[in-house]
Amino acid sequence: MKYLVIYDGDCNLCTTFTKLLQQFDGGKLFAYSPMQDHENLKKWGITPQDCEMGMILLDDQTPPQKWQGSDAAEEIARLLPVGYLFINAYRAIPGMKWLGDRAYEQVRDNRYNWFGRRASTYHAPQPFGCNIKD
């Protein structure tokens, strides 16, 4: 099963995260597409407006599942080896989920000011096409 990580390919923080995830995962679990690849995202029914709310994680189970923003970041971490232990602990602490959601929103809304914007869109070497099970 491959999951689709849709990231902001113009954001320095987002591309750094994507590169780290690629190194850690080695193409086993995740495929990638920048939010700026509008034609490819149309295949999944994702619009540029959908991307304004942050990173997106998709899988193609029936019915398909979609996570966005901090929920996508948590699900990515949960899918990594022993990541579920950290996510379960994080979610068990009262108020942490709310705090994490607010922190994600601040980073999302200020990412270019705080981390900079790339001169060109980063395209990950493990892109996805029309079928993420490939």
Range of the domain at 72: 3-115
In which order are the strands placed within the sheet that holds 3-7? 30-34, 3-7, 56-59, 65-68
Residue pair 104/69 in contact (Cβ under 8 Å)? The answer is: yes
Residue 9 in any domain: the answer is yes
Residue 25 in any domain: the answer is yes
Residue 133 in any domain: the answer is no
Residue 20 in any domain: the answer is yes
Cis peptide before 63 (omega within 30 of 0): yes
Residue 120 in any domain: the answer is no
Residue 130 in any domain: the answer is no
How do residues 30-76 score in pLDDT, each as one tens digit?
A: 999 999 999 889 888 899 999 999 999 999 776 678 999 999 999 99
The whole-number pLDDT of residue 133 equals 42
Residue 14 in any domain: the answer is yes
Residue 27 in any domain: the answer is yes
pTM: 0.87
The whole-number pLDDT of residue 126 equals 63
| Distance separating alpha carbons of residues 100 and 104, to the nearest angstrom | 6
How do residues 7-32 score in pLDDT, each as one tens digit?
A: 999 999 999 999 999 998 888 899 99
Residue pair 3/27 in contact (Cβ under 8 Å)? The answer is: no
Domains held by the chain: number: 1
